[in-house]
Amino acid sequence: MRRRAGPTPRPGPPGSPSPGGWVPSSGPSRAGITDAAVLAFALFTVIYHAAFLVELRPSVIFRIWLYCCAALAVLALVLGVVRAVRRRRAPAPPPAVADAEPPGTRRWWWLAVGLVTGALGIGAAVTAGVAGLVSWWVPTGLGLAASVGAALLARRAWLARSDPQEPIATGWQALFVLLVSAGVAVSSLYMARNSKDDVFYVGKSVWVAERDIVPLRDFLFTENVAAPLSTQPPTASIEVFAGALARFLGMHAADATWFVLLPALAVLAVLALWRLVHRWAPRRPVLAFIVAIAYLYLVVGSDAALGTFHLPRLYEGKGMFVSAVIPLMWVYLTDWFESRSTWKLFLVAALSVVATGLSTTSAIILPLLVGAAGLAMLLVGRWGAALSAGVAALAYPVGAVLVSRLALGPVASAGGETQFFDAEGTYRRTLLVGVLGVIGGLALWLSPLLVRGRTPRLLAAGAALTMSVLFVPGVLEALAEASGVSAVLWRVPWILALPGLIGILCTVGLPRLKWSSRLVGLVVASALIFCFATFGVPMWHKDSFVEVASRPLWKLPQQRLEIVRWIDGLPREPGLLLAPSTLMRVAPVVSSRLRVVMPRDGYLVEYDQNSDFVRDRQRLAAFADGTAIASDAEVKASIERLNVTTICVYWVNLQARDTLKRLGYEMYARRFAPGAVRCFRQP
């Protein structure tokens, strides 16, 4: 007989097992830290968005936020005391009784399905990671078949209601995780990755800190005059938060971002990863956590590797989105689907607000993640649960996108379609190729067979099935055509929380062989870390473009930073600064008052390429770089149209120096090696 699923049981008092076998897993300290951070930043984002209506200054927004946080902290303390008193007075709940295996179930049949699914998943991972030796249809077909088999197995496990009770984190586990998070936070101070996007993200924080204004229009090429980038509407609040924090502390915005905010974000990202691993791992969560951290440190190098978006770029909203929001969203959805707690659903909604405040990428990735979770819920007939999760997780992000698009217009095609990677290219950018690509594929297609039973397994199967469909040739192309934002679709594998799933690979066990299972887990973990170290590029390697220093430093090339600071200290007339492109990218991070001709050429893509606004900047940047020297008349006309008053070039750029002398410029400042620079102005 087939067993019919009954109503979802409600949990008992916190800390006690519920009829569904659910127990809070993260402990009060780790869950309290991450949940409080989620609620706090969600509150700041809501206040920041509401402030658009009355044009409040960032400093005022920040103070209002502080007052609200203090009031909510007092309220939480009072409610905590009340709940503690009620728990002591409440009778103990009856012990949970696991349901027996449904009678008449053909175990041998499901065992065969599991073996075939595992074999298909391994085949898909191997063929996907071998870098073009077979048609992409081979791993696509194998992976799709494996994900369907995993979904059927997960559905059966959920309906059987026979999953074991989840253990609570022990004290030594909590201490270990906190120590690791503190170590990661400290290491963030000593490593710097030169990111071209810093001119926008950190530059915006510098603008906010120095001017106490939220730049709603372009602040890089003009003084908040030209239209903003259509791909970067002012919905993200993380840069404004960093600038307001710096102004409140009386610090430079880059100091506040890299020395205060980044370590705090590193702690939260590590705790978020731990919460996912502990919530989903069926056994040995600490070992899985170690493997996941090792993956983030040892597999960097590529500009799309997940390690690149973790520690080196957490202060950029998209880095925190993929490193913390994605794993936390899976945790919150798991907790809510098992407990049906209104509070857990509220946390899902709050985390969606956080995602909106971190990055515009969330408007693309979050619906895919929630769709994968909703698909998993539909597999077991939970239509109401799927709808509730969708509304809670997508109402705010979708609303923010609609409002911003109505106010600013649609995304410019030039900005949204600068690049596109098909399914095969998307896989190999994020999950990588070779041995590392095979490991990533194993995490994708085998994790639904390895994670903790019932809800985690169901959600993992939904994620695997969704990604397998997206990897079918033509699906991403159709999504790009429908959305108009093909440039960011290579990030769709972010929905997987891949580092955590890779760590869970070492939790494989052997039935009824406890010590042998532990040995197998240690062997798999050692093999994984060995592969990371052998085939990956560690974070501190030069190929990861990370500079390691003996002291905390700004995340910029230090010689360029020194030159720009020297230029900033020179007497200059009002107007634009022309310098080599590498120096002009640093200038907005040093000061919003140091206006330059070309902060970054990539941001010109949305402007009219035939206009003087673009051509003058391109011509003068090539002139200062020494790559293409235009005629004297063209250089002079561009300088006059852009109101360039100071020109600095490297001493080796002899053509530029000769041109400036012919145009009547005089050298009024010089800097000797390293980084020999000469600066010119009109007499």
Tell me: pLDDT of 616 over 60.
yes
DSSP assignment of 74-131 equals HHHHHHHHHHHHHHHHSPPPPPP-PPPPPTT--HHHHHHHHHHHHHHHHHHHHHHHTS
- The predicted model gives 665-678 an average pLDDT of 91
> Residues 113-163: pLDDT tens digits?
888 999 999 999 999 998 677 899 999 999 999 999 999 999 998 888 755
pLDDT category, 351, cuts 50, 70, 90? very high
Cβ-based neighbours of 126, under 8 Å, separated by 6 or more: 438, 441
> Residues 654-666: pLDDT tens digits?
999 999 999 999 9
Tell me: pLDDT of 585 over 90.
yes
Tell me: pLDDT of 31 over 90.
no
The span from the CA of 534 to the CA of 552, in Å, is: 29
Sign of CA dihedral 658, 659, 663, 669: negative
pLDDT at residue 408, rounded to an integer? 73
The span from the CA of 95 to the CA of 86, in Å, is: 19
pLDDT at residue 100, rounded to an integer? 44
pLDDT category, 90, cuts 50, 70, 90? low
Which parts of 324-474 fold into alpha helices (H)? 326-339, 342-358, 362-379, 383-408, 413-416, 423-430, 434-450, 455-470
Structure tokens at 532: 């990371």
> Residues 361-412: pLDDT tens digits?
898 999 999 999 999 999 999 999 999 999 999 999 999 888 887 877 777 6
Could you tell me if 265 and 245 are in contact, meaning their C-beta atoms sit under 8 angstroms apart?
no
Could you tell me if 58 and 212 are in contact, meaning their C-beta atoms sit under 8 angstroms apart?
yes
Tell me: pLDDT of 462 over 60.
yes
Q: Which amino acid is at 678?
A: R
Say how many Å lie between the first and final Cα of the chain, rounded: 95
Tell me: pLDDT of 21 over 50.
no
CB atoms within 10 A of CB 551: 6
pLDDT at residue 412, rounded to an integer? 65
pLDDT at residue 30, rounded to an integer? 57
Dihedral of CA atoms 212, 213, 214, 217 in degrees, nearest 10, equals -150
pLDDT at residue 371, rounded to an integer? 96
pLDDT category, 17, cuts 50, 70, 90? very low
> Residues 618-654: pLDDT tens digits?
999 999 999 988 899 999 999 999 999 999 999 999 9
Could you tell me if 220 and 599 are in contact, meaning their C-beta atoms sit under 8 angstroms apart?
yes
**Higher per-residue confidence, 109 vs 280:** 280
Instruction: Return the residue matching tokens 């809501």.
Output: 46
Structure tokens at 527: 């093999």
Cβ-based neighbours of 292, under 8 Å, separated by 6 or more: 273, 277, 499, 500, 502, 503
The span from the CA of 633 to the CA of 197, in Å, is: 33
Tell me: pLDDT of 4 over 50.
no
Least confident of 11-15, 53-57, 283-287: 11-15
pTM above 0.85, yes or no: yes
The span from the CA of 498 to the CA of 305, in Å, is: 11
pLDDT category, 166, cuts 50, 70, 90? low
Q: Where are the domains of the chain?
A: 27-93+120-156+171-535, 558-681
pLDDT at residue 93, rounded to an integer? 54
Could you tell me if 437 and 431 are in contact, meaning their C-beta atoms sit under 8 angstroms apart?
yes
* C-alpha of 546 from chain center: 18
pLDDT category, 15, cuts 50, 70, 90? very low
pLDDT category, 24, cuts 50, 70, 90? very low
Return mean pLDDT, the chain. Answer: 87
**Higher per-residue confidence, 32 vs 511:** 32
The span from the CA of 473 to the CA of 372, in Å, is: 19
**β-pairing verdict for 546-548 and 191-193:** antiparallel
Question: In 3-state terms, what secondary structure has residue 513?
Answer: coil
pLDDT category, 84, cuts 50, 70, 90? confident
Could you tell me if 243 and 209 are in contact, meaning their C-beta atoms sit under 8 angstroms apart?
yes
Structure tokens at 60: 């005022």
